[in-house]
Amino acid sequence: MILSKFVDELPIPPILKPRWKDKVHTYYEVNMTEFKQSLHSELNETTVWGYEGNYPGPTIEVESGEKVLIKWINNLPENHILPIDYTVHGAHVDVPEVRTVVHVHGASVESESDGYPEAWFTKGFKQVGPFFKKEVYQYDNNQQSVTQWYHDHALGITRLNVYAGLAGFYLIRDKQERLLNLPCGDYEIPLMIQDRSFHKNGALYYPNQPDKPIKGLETSIVPEFFGETILVNGKVWPHLDVEPRKYRFRILNGSNTRFYRIKLDSEQLIYQIGTDSGLMEYPIGIKKITLAPAERADVIIDFSNLEGKNIIMKNDAPAPFPDGDPANAVGIVMEFRISLPLTSIDTSVIPAYMVPFPKINEQLASKIRYLTLNDNMDKYGREFMLLDNKQWDAPITENPKLGSTEVWCLINLTTDTHPIHVHLIDFQVIDRRPFDVDKYNKEGVIHYNGPAIPSEPQEQGGKDTVRANPQQVTRIIMNFGPYTGRYVWHCHILEHEDYEMMRPYIVIP
């Protein structure tokens, strides 16, 4: 099915209003429901899942330090709209089909409110998972201004729940950010980029078998998913009418598997001002931005003096990344039309300096963990991925002490890049160094066969998701806290996360 490009306007998710607010707390309720929404004007309306009747969900905007309570409410039907594989962990036939639990990606949050994959709940909290602790989550937002996002995290069906539409933005703001005079108001827009495929009737298409079907299974998880179309904020290939001035965009890769390498066909620079975990020290001007699933880039694009021009945002990331066929990149993301008159003089700036970014000293690390990313084969002959060669159910092995600093060396033995996400904390990317995979597989030792490559300009800031490339050891450093308890770290390719590429970890007092 071929859909026309740039016919629909880019939707901008509404800002969620709190139910009440007093001197101490701000309280929100967020309902998850099933509804129909137009994802492209040439398509019939699509049945999706969303928060508060929106896909993507409404943007939650809070102030740094604001104590926020959110009751996430499951009002979804009993049956899933997408094919469940009952053989993957947590999705067996003995649990309800539709389970949800919400994780705010990037949040520094108490363990009971982090959205642990086994803390799921059903409609009306009738049934809950073994790690369910509370109905109302508490977020202390003790972080600087940052682009976070919330999405579903239920064990074994995260890929399906997010694909159905359960994702939205969560922004923390602060005084420092306001003092910088960045483009704001109508000139600050979040962009959630996702890929989807459709049936002819407009329904979401998600495969119930890999290309080579699995014998003995009616429905099987797929090793990766690549959609045929690109949606931004829930519209296929939209356009945005802009004024000839600077705009700030919070770009999020909200896709299941697909990576994006974004550029503008005008060849102009994109000014990146923030990473996953907030503003950078200095802006960088770059032509291409690579985003793995869950990575964010806070950017400014300057449309000044471009009246009447159309600029296309393009993508050339191979799928799978990085060694897949470049022809599998869906090349078009969206279009900017500099068609609106300038309503006021643009006084916003691209600041020369934003916020301090103190580097964590490697000497402070009390522990260095060597953690592999592995391939494996299940009893049906399906390939699946592991962290540290362990399944989800294996005893916890990552148990950092509260307040301690650790270096994690991610040894990627697979052929793909995996975006590794650690809950609770922000980390810094130290470097990536090529090593001999064959030698490692035979002898279990790291034999480096090239110099260390420093982290990319795009990564000079706090991160919560890092691209661990094949045949490289990726080193990250972080300080664990300020909460103790059980969290997870995992690959953010949702098809991998759902099938064993996720591990619990615990911060101990």
Three-state secondary structure call for residue 419: strand
Give min distance, CB of 496 to Cu ion, in A. Answer: 3
The residue length of the chain stands at: 509
Alpha carbon of 303 to those of 237, 331, 361, 400: distances in Å?
20, 22, 40, 46
Strand-strand pairing, 405-412 and 367-377: parallel
Taking the complex as a whole, the smallest distance from the CB of residue 97 to Cu ion amounts, in Å, to 25
What gap in Å lies between CA 196 and CA 41, rounded to an integer?
Answer: 15
- Is residue 476 within 8 Å of residue 430, measured between CB atoms? yes
Residue 46 or 158: the one with the smaller Cβ distance to Cu ion is 158
CA angle 456, 108, 457 (to 5 degrees): 10
Q: Which residues bind Cu ion (CB under 5 A)?
A: 418, 491, 493, 496, 501
Paired tokens of 32: 């998850």
CB of 485 to Cu ion, least distance (A): 25
Distance CA(410)–CA(468), nearest Å, equals 7
| Smallest gap from residue 199 Cβ to Cu ion (A) | 27
Residue 398 and residue 503 in contact, taking contact as beta carbons nearer than 8 Å: yes
User: Nearest-CB residue to Cu ion?
Assistant: 491
Residue closest to 144 by CA, chosen among 461, 423, 459, 428: 461
Q: How far is the CB of 492 from Cu ion (least distance, A)?
A: 7
Q: In terms of CB distance, is 105 or 235 closer to Cu ion?
A: 105
Smallest gap from Cβ 84 to Cu ion, in A, equals 20
In the complex with Cu ion, the residue whose CB is nearer, 95 or 491, is: 491
Peptide bond into 470 cis (omega under 30): no
**Shortest approach of Cu ion to residue 41 CB, angstroms?**
35
- Residue 376 Cα distances to 42, 157, 384, angstroms: 42, 20, 5
**450: which 2 tokens?**
């090239």
Q: Which is nearer to Cu ion, 143 or 469 (CB)?
A: 469
* The pair of three-digit structure tokens given for residue 115, joined into one six-digit string: 């959205």
**Closer residue to Cu ion (CB): 248 or 467:** 467
Nearer to Cu ion, 355 or 466 (CB): 466
Smallest separation (angstroms) from Cu ion to the CB of 464: 16
Residue placing its CB nearer to Cu ion in the complex, 234 or 419 = 419
Smallest gap from residue 427 Cβ to Cu ion (A): 17
Of the pair 293, 462, the CB lying nearest Cu ion is at 293
- Residues with Cβ within 8 Å of 317's Cβ and at least 6 positions away in sequence, in order, are 258, 259, 260, 261, 290, 329
What is the 8-class DSSP label of residue 161? H
Return the number of the residue (148 or 465) whose C-beta is nearest Cu ion: 465
3-state helix, strand, coil in the chain (%, to 5): 10, 40, 50
Q: What DSSP string runs through 304-318?
A: TT-TT-EEEEEE---
H/E run at residue 274: strand 270-275
Choose between 105 and 496: whose C-beta lies nearer to Cu ion.
Answer: 496
Beta carbons within 10 angstroms of residue 27's beta carbon = 15
State the nearest-atom distance from the C-beta of 162 to Cu ion, in Å.
Answer: 15
